């Protein structure tokens, strides 16, 4: 029985090799724009023919795919393929997800810490205005208002600064996630010697 085991293993390896060869039997790697070395690496990786054809269809070289760039970009393989299929390069994917994960996180934190997002994005005037307003309302609430007045006037004013910072940051990061939306506008600007000028802008 022990003597038969190597023979059985050899039969299985031959069968799998024939199956693998059959999958690529009608595939011409030169017509697909691959070199012999690239094609050999594809076969060694265990990539299926359908997978390779899909990569070539969306403009991804198998050599790039085999490096698993999605790990360096911090996204899943499926998300990386989706974005590449949409025409994005790795650098664009990296910038997009950094904006979404970084700035949007700061936007939510700005609800707790007013002006955090504004300072982080160098919006100095807005950040200073928020800090001055917050400090003023806190001072008034603690040293000027008493009892019920603090709940009626003081704390709502302080909360308003938190909301101001959050909404401002959220709107800004909305354009980071979808920069094309910022450019969507409708304008009416009649001009001329005796004409009027009117402008209207819609943003979503």
Domain limits of the chain?
102-204
**In a 10 Å sphere around its CB, with 0-12 CB exposed, 13-18 middle and 19+ buried, how is residue 69 labelled?**
middle
CB 114 within 8 A of CB 164: yes
| pLDDT tens-digit series, residues 43-101 | 999 999 999 999 999 889 898 899 888 887 777 888 888 888 888 887 777 776 665 55
pLDDT (tens place) for every residue of the chain, 204 residues total? 445 444 444 444 444 444 455 788 888 989 988 999 999 999 999 999 999 999 999 889 898 899 888 887 777 888 888 888 888 887 777 776 665 555 667 788 889 999 998 998 889 999 999 999 999 999 999 999 988 899 999 999 999 999 999 999 888 776 554 444 444 443 333 444 443 333 333 333
**Phi, psi dihedrals of residue 123, rounded to the nearest 5°:** -90, 75
| Assigned token pair, 191 | 């001009």
27 secondary structure, DSSP code = -
CB 184 within 8 A of CB 203: yes
pLDDT score, position 36: 92
Q: How many CB atoms lie within 10 A of CB 120?
A: 16
What residues contact 172, with CB distance under 8 A and at least 6 apart?
A: 103, 107, 117, 121
CB 30 within 8 A of CB 10: no
pLDDT score, position 79: 83
pLDDT score, position 202: 37
pLDDT score, position 21: 55
pLDDT score, position 142: 93
Helix and strand numbers (H, E) in the chain are 13, 0
What residues contact 99, with CB distance under 8 A and at least 6 apart?
A: 173, 176, 177
pLDDT score, position 89: 85
């Amino acid at each position: 029985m022990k003597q038969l085991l190597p023979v059985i293993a050899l039969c299985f390896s031959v069968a799998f090799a024939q199956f693998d060869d059959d999958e690529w039997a009608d595939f011409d790697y030169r017509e697909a724009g691959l070199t012999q070395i690239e094609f050999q690496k594809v076969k060694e990786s265990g990539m299926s023919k359908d997978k390779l054809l899909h990569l070539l269809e969306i403009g991804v070289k198998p050599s790039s795919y085999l490096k698993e760039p999605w790990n360096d970009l911090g996204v899943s393989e499926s998300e990386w393929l989706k974005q590449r299929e949409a025409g994005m390069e790795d650098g664009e994917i990296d910038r997009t997800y950094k904006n979404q994960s970084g700035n949007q996180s700061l936007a939510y934190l700005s609800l707790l810490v007013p002006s955090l997002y504004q300072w982080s994005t160098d919006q100095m005037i807005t950040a200073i205005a928020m800090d001055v307003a917050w400090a003023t309302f806190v001072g008034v609430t603690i040293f000027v208002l008493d009892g019920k007045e603090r709940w009626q006037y003081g704390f709502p004013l302080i909360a308003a600064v938190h909301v101001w910072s959050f909404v401002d940051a959220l709107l800004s990061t909305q354009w980071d996630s979808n920069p094309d939306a910022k450019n969507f506008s409708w304008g009416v600007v009649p001009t001329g010697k005796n004409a009027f000028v009117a402008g209207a802008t819609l943003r979503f």
